[in-house]
Chain A
Amino acid sequence: MAHLKITGLHKFYGSVHAVRGIDLEIPEGEFTVLVGPSGCGKSTLLRAIAGLEEVDRGTIEIAGRVVNDMRPRERNIAMVFQNYSLYPYLSVFENIAFGLRARKAPQSEIEARVKRAADMLGIANLLGRKPRELSGGQRQRVAIGRAIVRNARLFLFDEPLSNLDAQLRDEMRSEIKRLHQEIATTMIYVTHDQIEAMTLADRIVLLKEGQIEQVGTPLDLFERPATRYVAGFLGSPAMNFIDVGLAAKDAGVVVRLTDGTELQLPAARRSLLGRAAERLITLGIRPEHISRAHDGALREGVVRLLVIIELIQPTGSRTYVTFSLGGVAVVAEVEPHDVDHANQQLDMQIDMNRAVLIDPGTGRVL
């Protein structure tokens, strides 16, 4: 049975239709990440689950009970907010104990639970301090401590790491993942950061304009995106998109760039043409599927072409190069020493087996 079940959910803010019919089931113990750009409705959805927003249509069920009319406190949910939401006038201990005190837990139990949560997060030595005496990372730990101390049945995270600097963010990300493995409670995590989504999630729910674009495991979405939007959202640097013509040639099928260059597609793609002689499509290729060409025979579906490098961006382990393909700037990922300088001519190969073909009209992957 699904632990959390959302059916036909709609939310309006005045004339703005923020959530437009969400259906979602989340099994017990799963780490689900709601991801999408700002304004896609992900935070609204999370707040609706928490009971901080009333919904206009649809139902939310937690463990088989419809909770639409329940107050937040009756839903037994814990939530971590973006700006930590710590009470400046309370010590770290009292901040963590806040929820237990509100529920009138006995003092001995409060002490034991706060201590256990603090140990788990490595903040046991900070319990006597005030929030203003803590660093950003420590504050976030306290905020998480507040959530885990209560043994809630559902954890909600609303962009908890976006106020931290990059290094701390990496650290806290692993911490949250480890925490989930330890306490194995259902967690729903909202972020606009695709790396957080990919690394944390058992399952990603990608939202766009208040609707679910695609649901699946991180690798599912990455390797088999359903739409151009999903393909472009996940992956860094982003997937390259080139408008091309798809045409039959000899027994096979090719994509024809605007400058006339033809790239051979695997024969299996022939079926996309149907009876038509040619159709317009968008070709999507990830930077990691374009590399420096090697000597020797090419695998089936790999094509080779000569390009002039316009821009070089080394990152240390990999180097990103930009060149023009069919009038579009295309990014490719090469080995650090594959390229010396801009304007260099380079022999590249593209793995067309991994190419994504998109219907430009509907945006759906063919």
Chain B
Amino acid sequence: MSAVRSYRSLALRYIAATALTILFLFPIYWLFMISFKTPDEIYSVPPTWVPANFQFKNYAVLFQDGDVTAVWNSFVVAGTSTVVAMFLGTLCAYSLARSRSGGAALANWIISQRMIPPIAVVFPIFLLYVWLGWVDTYGGVILLYTAFNLPYVIWMMRGYIMDIPIELEESALVDGCTQWQVLRRVAFPMARTGLFATAIFTFVFAWNDFIFALVLTRTEVTTYTVQVTHYFGGQSNFWAKISAMSVLGTLPVFIVVAAMQRYLVRGISLGAVKG
């Protein structure tokens, strides 16, 4: 009797889980499908669930017109700003964690910077960039993403570093390491999981950013998020291009997260213990 009941509850749970998964995955499925459809299929009523032929014309157009440069631009600004923010942020976090630089207040003040809404600062920064001539340059966008991600990196890495037993570092010092060697040979490998997890979040933030890129780029370093908006026209929307570009923009993040999932899950739970 109770065995039957437990089977039934298990079945119900699976059904609920499947239903939710379908619900959440449907928009992504639809996005991918549109990118392979012909214009007729896109507008057909009733909707075409699966395109008759998977054709890559929608993608080919993006390559022919050079629109994919936007994905490359996203990759350059997100990648570079992640590397720079991770490097500077980890050093800063180490100092905060181990030397108590600035006391507890400084760490709290730093994370508070992350809470500023981007829209509140984007126009002053735009005016500053115009004056400096940095609008629509890689350097300008990278600098802004780095600055915006640094508080997050510092805060997260500080927690991970505080989780490293100090004896491991002390024992390395006694064994003959310099402070730099301690960082490179003990602190970084020990905090590896946290480094990866933080880097992924940093990268994804910069990759997905829209508001900064919209205001600070024109034609030279347009990122893919801004590029997508160019396909929304006054008369009509280019759904084929929108979906193909969105897929191109989603895939890199999708691959990175899938590959690093192990670090992501462990990294998040590690950081949760100490803030």
Contacts and interface: CB of A to CB of B under 8 A. Distances in A.
A77 B172 contact: no
Interface in A77-121: 77-79, 81-83, 85, 87-89, 98-99, 102-103
A89 B190 CA distance: 8
Contacts of A146: 171, 175
B185 interface: yes
B167 interface: yes
Contacts of A82: 167
Interface string A40-68: 00000000001110000000000000000
B50 interface: no
B176 A99 contact: yes
A52 B176 contact: no
A108 to B, nearest CB: 19
Contacts of A77: 174
Chain B interface mostly: helix
A72 interface: yes
A10 B120 CA distance: 54
A73 interface: yes
Interface residues on A, range: 20 to 34
Nearest to A73: B176
Q: Which among B176, B177, B190, B192 has the greatest number of chain A C-beta atoms within 10 A?
A: B176
B175 A102 contact: yes
A156 B170 CA distance: 13
A156 B174 CA distance: 10
Contact of A72 (B165, B174, B185, B189): B174
A106 B99 CA distance: 34
Nearest to B178: A73
A85 B171 contact: yes
B167 A73 contact: no
Contacts of B189: 87, 89
A150 interface: yes
A249 interface: no
Nearest to B179: A71
Nearest to A78: B174
Q: Which of B170, B181, B189 has the most CB of A within 10 A?
A: B170
B173 A72 contact: yes
B186 interface: yes
A180 B189 CA distance: 34
A98 B173 CA distance: 11
Contacts of B190: 87-89
Contacts of B171: 79, 81, 85, 146
Given A87-B186, A89-B189, A89-B190, A102 B167 contact: no
Interface in B151-196: 165, 167-168, 170-178, 181, 185-186, 189-190, 192
A245 to B, nearest CB: 52
A102 B170 CA distance: 14
A78 to B, nearest CB: 7
Nearest to A50: B174
Contacts of A98: 172, 175, 185
B221 to A, nearest CB: 39
Given A77-B174, A81-B170, A150-B175, 17 more contacts: A52-B174, A71-B173, A72-B174, A73-B173, A73-B177, A78-B174, A83-B167, A85-B167, A85-B171, A87-B189, A89-B190, A89-B192, A99-B175, A99-B176, A102-B172, A102-B181, A156-B174
26 contacts: A50-B170, A51-B173, A52-B170, A52-B173, A52-B174, A71-B173, A72-B170, A72-B173, A73-B173, A73-B178, A77-B174, A78-B174, A81-B167, A83-B167, A85-B170, A85-B171, A87-B168, A87-B190, A88-B190, A89-B190, A89-B192, A102-B185, A103-B176, A146-B175, A150-B176, A156-B174
